């Protein structure tokens, strides 16, 4: 199990600043997991994203999203880990 998971823009490192998206511009978010041994792995295929305001931010699966209106929205992710 990872020790922490961060939402990042594309393949950027976490910077903890709010994301600002241009209206009608496509954007991509990713989930970056950090493990105790120092490994960092993108776990995008394990995330389901949700927007708190779909009149502002529409999600299209796998981290692809588009700002469709003015305002603010929060993005929440649910991560599924499987034990093999």
Q: 5-64 pLDDT, tens per residue?
A: 888 877 777 777 777 888 898 888 888 889 999 999 988 888 888 899 999 999 887 788
Tell me the C-alpha distance between 66 and 19, whole Å: 12
User: The pTM is what?
Assistant: 0.69
Its sign, for the CA torsion 43, 45, 51, 54, is: positive
From 32, 68, 25, select the one nearest 47 (Cα to Cα).
32
CB 27 within 8 A of CB 49: no
For 33, other C-beta atoms within 10 Å of its C-beta total 18
């Amino acid at each position: 199990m990872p020790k922490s998971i961060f939402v990042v823009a594309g393949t950027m490192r976490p910077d903890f600043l709010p994301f600002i998206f241009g209206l009608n511009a496509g954007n991509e978010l990713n989930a970056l997991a950090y493990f105790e041994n120092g490994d960092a792995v993108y776990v995008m295929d394990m995330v389901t994203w949700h927007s708190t305001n779909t009149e502002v931010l529409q999600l299209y699966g796998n981290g692809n999203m588009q700002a469709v209106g003015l305002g603010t929205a929060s993005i929440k992710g649910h991560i599924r880990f499987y034990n093999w």
